[in-house]
Amino acid sequence: MSVCYICLKKYQMQNIHHSLFHIIICSTGKQKFLTRVNQDILYNYITSVLYQKTCVPISVTGHSNHIHLFIELSVDISVAQIVREILQNTMDFIRREKSVFPEFNGWEKHFLAISYHPSQKSDLLSLLKKQFDYHRTTSFEEELSELTVFS
């Protein structure tokens, strides 16, 4: 019984020190480069970078010219640092895999990061799961506007 209690206490403490962030990063000039063929390759790579930096990827998704990262940010790293790591690592990865991402020319310098309360987690996950259908009727700019109101 004490082992479970210790594990529970440890888990509760870890949750206190983690923050939920939704990060959106756009390609340079909003150039479309993600396809149904290559997106999972990039998302899996980003997921591995997040784990290496002790962050927990809740959802890694996107659409054609931008990516969405919904993560539990580790206490050991800032939002700016994790974004910098993702940008640098993905640039190197995509250069090595240029044939898989022929339309990619780089990332924008700016990104959007919104913190979320755990009670908002399921609402955001629902939105992120529908990215492909969502962007049939909604532009990237409209999405950003809605997200800043949503948060």
CB neighbours of residue 31 within 10 Å: 14
Mean pLDDT of the chain: 84
Give yes or no for a contact between 74 and 61, defined as CB atoms under 8 angstroms apart. no
Query: Where on the phi/psi map is residue 114: left (φ > 0), alpha (ψ -120 to 50), or beta?
Result: beta
pLDDT of residue 138: 65
pLDDT of residue 115: 94
Residue 51 lies in a domain: yes
Q: What is the tens place of the pLDDT at every residue in 38-97?
A: 999 999 999 999 999 999 999 999 989 999 999 999 999 999 999 999 999 999 999 999
Residue 117 lies in a domain: yes
Domain assignment of residue 78, given as a range: 18-150
Q: Is residue 133 very low, low, confident or very high in pLDDT (cuts 50, 70, 90)?
A: low
Residue 6 lies in a domain: no
Which residue's structure tokens are 């969405």?
68
Note the pTM of the prediction, 2 decimals.
0.79
pLDDT of residue 148: 59
E-strand ranges in the chain read 19-27, 56-63, 66-73, 107-116
Q: Is residue 9 very low, low, confident or very high in pLDDT (cuts 50, 70, 90)?
A: very low
* Comparison of pLDDT for 63 and 3, the residue scoring more: 63
The domain that holds 23 is classified in CATH as: 3.30.70.1290
